[in-house]
Amino acid sequence: MDTESTYSGYSYYSGRSRGSHRHGERSRDRDRHKSRNKDSRSEKSVTINTPPAEPLLGDSSVRGEQVQDDNWGETTTAVTGTSEHSLSQEDIVRITKDLEDSVGLDCRRYFTLTLAVILGLLVFLTPLAFLVLPYILWPEKLQTCGTACEGLFISVAFKLLILLLAVWALFFRSPRAGLPRVFVFRALLAVLVLLFVMSYWLFYGVRILDTQDENYQGIVQYAVSLVDALLFIHYLAIVLLELRQLQPCFSVSVMRSTDGEKRHYNLGQLSIQRAALAILEHYYCDFPVHNPALLSASKSRAAKHLAGLKVYNVDGEFPASPADGPGNNAAAGMAHSQSRAMIAAAARRRDTSHNELYYEEAEHERRVRKRKARLVVAVEEAFTHIKRMQEEDQKKTPGDVMDPREAAQAIFPSMARALQKYLRTTKQQHCHSMESIQQHLAFCITNNMTPKAFLESYLSAGPTLQYSRNHWLARQWTLISEASVTSGLSDGSIFQLKCVDFSLVVTTKKIPYIQMSEEYIDPKSHKFVLRLQSETSV
Amino acid sequence: MSNFMPGQPLVAVVQRIEIKKLRQGENLILGFSIGGGIDQDPGQNPFSDDKADKGIYVTRITPGGPADAANLRMGDKIMQVNGYDMTMMTHDQARKRLTQKKEDVVRLLVTRKSLEEAVKTSMGGCYPRQ
C-alpha cells in the first residue's frame, strides 16, 4: 500500500464536467498510471480511480474543495478519452519508461491525448492527401477526371463522413474510469491502424509519387480502398471492443468483506480490470450502503473475548526469545501450548455471551419496532396537514400559498423528533442530514407521494448511489489480483477490490456448456389409464 | 415377497391356514379384506416389499372373525386358495375364488416376511433363496 499513499495527493477526484451538466452520467477521469514496483510483491496491486459523479442538482459551488479538476481535456474538445487511433499507455511505458517517473502524471495524459489526436488526424487526412497531392505535384501530367472518377469522389466523401460518425459514436465517449493498465484491444487496434496507414503511405510514396503516375482514376480508387479498409477496421473494433463481451460467460459472485452482502452478476469475456470496472458500477447501484456503525456491536464482542483471558507464564521461560536450536523449539512449543490453553479456557468461558447476544438482539428488535410505529403515525399525521391546492381555491385564500420547499419546512418539525429517534436506533443518523431529509420531503410532496413512500428510503438502506457524495465512502479502488489484470477472466479466478473501509472479494465461475437434445412428443400420444387399488372384504 | 421374475418359478415359504366360513344371514364371510391384483396399481400396496408385486394381499382382518381365529395376519400375501394359484389373478377373480358359495372352508397358502426370517435363522443361513 505504500505506493498508493505517495500518490494520494495526485489522485484526481474530478467530479463535475465544467459547463456540461449531464445528469446522471458520470464523467470520470483518465487513468493515473502508477509506477509498479515489479520487484516488491508477487501480487500485482494497481489502482483504479473512479471519481464520483456530479451532485444531483449540479451544484458547481462545491467544486472548490477539489485538488485539481482536470476534466477539461474531456469536455472542451471533441476528443474525449481515447479514440481508436490512440497510442496505448503500454506503448508509452515501453518507449518512455523514464518519462513516467520524471515528468509526472499530467504530462502522460496529455501525451496520450496528443498522440490520439495526431493519429486521428493522420487517418482522416490520408485519403484526402492521396487525392490532392497529384494535383499539387504534377498537375499537367494528370489525366482528366472522368465521370466514374468523379463518382468516386462522392463515394470517398460519404465514406469518410460515415467513418467520422462511426468513430465518434464508438470512441468519443467520456471515459468511465481510469484503469490501471492499458486496454489491450485498443492498443492492438491502434497499432494495427498505424501499420496499415503506414503501409499505404509506403506504397503510395514508392509507386505513385516517385513514378508520378498519370492515371488519376487509379489513384482515386486507391484512396477509396483505403477508406473501405478503415471502415472494416472499425467493424473489427466494434466486434472486439463491444460485441465480444456481451454474451454472458461467467457468473461472478461479489461479497463485501465487512457484512457479507453478496450479489451475483453475469459477465462476458472480459479482462480482469474491465470486469472489475463493471462490478464496481453494479456495486454502486445494487449494494446497500456501507454503514460502519452496524459493525460496532460485533467488534465490541470480539474485544470482550480477547480481553477476558490473560496468560501468565509461571515457569519463567520467555516464549519470544529468538534463540536457535533446541531453545527455539522449546519456546515455540511453549507459545503453542499457551495459545491452546487460551483457546480451551475461552471455549469453556463462552457460556454466557450467546445469551447476552440473544436478549440484546430481541430487545433491539422491539425498540426498533416501537420507534417505527411512532414514526409512521407521526409522518401520516404530518402529511394530512398538507393539501395540494386546486385552481379554484387560488381565488379564495391567496394568503398562505407555499411552494413545496416551504411546505416541507412547515410540516417537518412535527415528524423530526420521531424520525431522528428512529434513525438513531437503526444507526443511520449519519447517512441523512436534515437538509437532505427536507429535500426528500419536498420532493415527495411535489410528486404526490404517500407517507409510506416518503418513509421507504429511511426504513431500509438503499444503494450507495442514492446517498449524498460523502457517503459513497470510496472513490479510489485498488484491484488486487494474483493474475495479471489484463488477462481474461477464467473459471475460479479470485480478485479483490479494496477501498479504504472494506474490500469486495470477487470469485468467478464459468457458466457450463449446455448440451441440449430434442425429444418429440406426438400430441396424440397423451393417453391415460386408471390405476385402481380397491379393497374388497370377503 | 422375494423378488420374482415373470415366467420363472417362485420359491416362497408358506403357511397353511384353514378358515371356516361364518354364516351371516345369507352370506358366508371370511372376515378379512383383500387388495391387489394384476389389474391394480401395485405401487400403492403398503404391505409388499417389492412395489411391482401384483399379488393378493390381506389388507384388513376383522377382529374376532374366522380369519382372525385361524391366525391370518394383515399383510399376508395369499399364494393359493384351495389349490388354485392366486399370484396372477385380477382382483375380481380373487374375490370370486374366495367367496364360492359351495365351499365352507378355504385352505390358504400365505406367505409373509417373518416366515422367511424364521426359516433362515433356524436353518442357519443355508436356505436356498431364489
- Positive or negative: CA dihedral A23, A256, A455, A449: positive
Between A32 and A482, name the one with better pLDDT. A482
| pLDDT range class, residue A102, cuts 50, 70, 90 | very low
Judged against a pLDDT cut of 50, whether residue A37 lies above it is answered with no
Nearest to A287 by CA among A130, A77, A76, A461: A461
Least confident residue range of A58-67, A217-226, A265-274: A58-67
Alpha helices in A385-479 (DSSP H): 393-396, 404-425, 434-446, 451-459
| pLDDT range class, residue A267, cuts 50, 70, 90 | very high
- Name the grid cell of A285: 447501484
pLDDT of res. A8: 37
Least confident residue range of A77-81, A192-196, A261-265, A335-339: A77-81
What residues in A contact B43, CB-CB < 8 Å? 531
Judged against a pLDDT cut of 50, whether residue A52 lies above it is answered with no
pLDDT of res. A472: 65
- Name the grid cell of A472: 459513497
Cα A194 to Cα A132, A385, A507, B12, B130, distances in angstroms = 21, 70, 38, 90, 84
Between A41 and A501, name the one with better pLDDT. A501
Q: Furthest-apart CA pair in chain A: how many Å?
A: 123
C-alpha span between B32 and B9 (Å, rounded): 28
- Name the grid cell of A483: 493474475
Q: Averaged over A268-274, what is the pLDDT? A: 92
pLDDT of res. A200: 94
Render the burial of A479-490: b for 16+ CB within 10 Å, e for the rest. Answer: bbbebebbebbe
Cα A538 to Cα A269, A431, A501, B44, B107, distances in angstroms = 73, 80, 81, 20, 14
Q: Averaged over A534-538, what is the pLDDT? A: 87
- Compute how many other C-beta atoms are within 10 angstroms of the C-beta atom of residue A535: 13
**Which phi and psi (to 5°) does residue B57 adopt?**
-120, 150
- Name the grid cell of A307: 480481553
E-assigned strands of A342-383?
none
Burial class (CB in 10 A: 0-12, 13-18, 19+), A376: middle
Nearest to A444 by CA among A416, A419, A407: A407
**Which phi and psi (to 5°) does residue A207 adopt?**
-90, -25
Whether residues A536 and B29 touch (CB distance < 8 A) is answered with no
- Name the grid cell of B75: 399383510
Judged against a pLDDT cut of 70, whether residue A92 lies above it is answered with no
Q: Averaged over A140-169, what is the pLDDT? A: 89
Between A127 and A312, name the one with better pLDDT. A127
How far A538 CA lies from chain B's nearest CA (Å)? 6
Judged against a pLDDT cut of 60, whether residue A140 lies above it is answered with yes
Whether residues A535 and B95 touch (CB distance < 8 A) is answered with no
What residues in A contact B29, CB-CB < 8 Å? 537-538
CB proximity under 8 Å: B 50-79 to A? 59-60, 62
Contact between residue B116 and residue B1 where contact means Cβ atoms under 8 Å apart: yes
pLDDT of res. A507: 96
pLDDT in tens, B98-117: 998 888 899 999 998 888 88
- Which candidate from A532, A536, A538 shows the least CB-CB separation from B41? A532
DSSP string, A145-181: --HHHHHHHHHHHHHHHHHHHHHHHHH-S--S-B-SS
* Residue B15, strand partner residues: B110
Whether residues A532 and B98 touch (CB distance < 8 A) is answered with no
Between A350 and A44, name the one with better pLDDT. A350
Nearest to B77 by CA among B88, B64, B66: B88
Q: How far is CA A528 from the centre of its chain?
A: 57
pLDDT of res. A325: 47
Least confident residue range of A220-224, A325-329, A338-342, A382-386: A325-329
A105: left (phi over 0), alpha (psi -120 to 50) or beta: alpha
Q: Averaged over A14-32, what is the pLDDT? A: 38
pLDDT of res. A5: 39
pLDDT of res. A11: 37
Instruction: Report helix, strand or coil for A367.
Output: helix
Whether residues A533 and B35 touch (CB distance < 8 A) is answered with yes
pLDDT in tens, A123-135: 999 999 999 988 8
Contact between residue A99 and residue A108 where contact means Cβ atoms under 8 Å apart: yes
pLDDT of res. B32: 92
C-alpha span between A110 and A463 (Å, rounded): 35
Q: Among A82-91, A168-177, B85-94, which range has the highest average pLDDT?
A: B85-94
- Which candidate from B30, B60, B91 shows the least CB-CB separation from A534? B91
Which residues are CB-contacts of A366 (< 8 A; sequence separation ≥ 6)?
Answer: none
Q: How far is CA A234 from the centre of its chain?
A: 26
Judged against a pLDDT cut of 90, whether residue A31 lies above it is answered with no
E-assigned strands of A35-124?
44-49
pLDDT of res. A476: 82
pLDDT of res. B81: 93
* Residue A477, strand partner residues: A48
Judged against a pLDDT cut of 70, whether residue A350 lies above it is answered with no
Between A257 and A339, name the one with better pLDDT. A257
pLDDT of res. A522: 93
pLDDT in tens, A357-400: 899 999 999 999 999 999 999 999 998 888 777 776 666 666 67
H or E segment at A66?
none
pLDDT, chain B, mean? 86
What residues in A contact B55, CB-CB < 8 Å? none
| pLDDT range class, residue A184, cuts 50, 70, 90 | confident
Least confident residue range of A187-191, A196-200, A401-405: A401-405
3-state SS record for B58-78: EEEECCCCHHHHCCCCCCCEE
* A503-510, strands of its sheet edge to edge: A44-49, A476-481, A494-498, A503-510, A250-256, A262-267
What residues in A contact B32, CB-CB < 8 Å? 537-538
- Compute how many other C-beta atoms are within 10 angstroms of the C-beta atom of residue A237: 22
Please state the length of chain B.
Answer: 130
Cα A467 to Cα A262, A399, A417, distances in angstroms = 20, 36, 21
- Which candidate from B30, B35, B41 shows the least CB-CB separation from A535? B35
pLDDT in tens, B68-86: 999 999 999 999 999 999 9
- Compute how many other C-beta atoms are within 10 angstroms of the C-beta atom of residue A2: 7
Which residues are CB-contacts of A452 (< 8 A; sequence separation ≥ 6)?
Answer: A376
Alpha helices in A34-75 (DSSP H): 72-75
Alpha helices in A426-485 (DSSP H): 434-446, 451-459
| pLDDT range class, residue B95, cuts 50, 70, 90 | very high
Alpha helices in B21-101 (DSSP H): 66-69, 91-98
**Which phi and psi (to 5°) does residue A476 adopt?**
-115, 120
Instruction: Report helix, strand or coil for B106.
Output: strand
Whether residues B60 and A538 touch (CB distance < 8 A) is answered with no
**Predicted structure pTM score:** 0.61
How far A521 CA lies from chain B's nearest CA (Å)? 25
| pLDDT range class, residue A332, cuts 50, 70, 90 | low
Contact between residue A70 and residue A12 where contact means Cβ atoms under 8 Å apart: yes
pLDDT in tens, A493-529: 999 999 888 899 999 999 999 999 999 999 999 999 8
How far B95 CA lies from chain A's nearest CA (Å)? 7
pLDDT in tens, A427-481: 888 888 889 899 999 999 999 999 999 999 888 888 887 777 666 656 788 999 9
Judged against a pLDDT cut of 50, whether residue A7 lies above it is answered with no
The percentage of chain A sitting over the pLDDT mark of 70, rounded to a whole number, equals 71
pLDDT of res. A368: 94
Using a CB–CB cutoff of 8 Å, tell me whether B33 touches chain A.
yes
Contact between residue A250 and residue A266 where contact means Cβ atoms under 8 Å apart: yes
- Which candidate from A534, A537, A538 shows the least CB-CB separation from B40? A534
Whether residues B35 and A537 touch (CB distance < 8 A) is answered with no
Least confident residue range of A79-88, A171-180, A333-342: A79-88
What residues in A contact B95, CB-CB < 8 Å? 536, 538
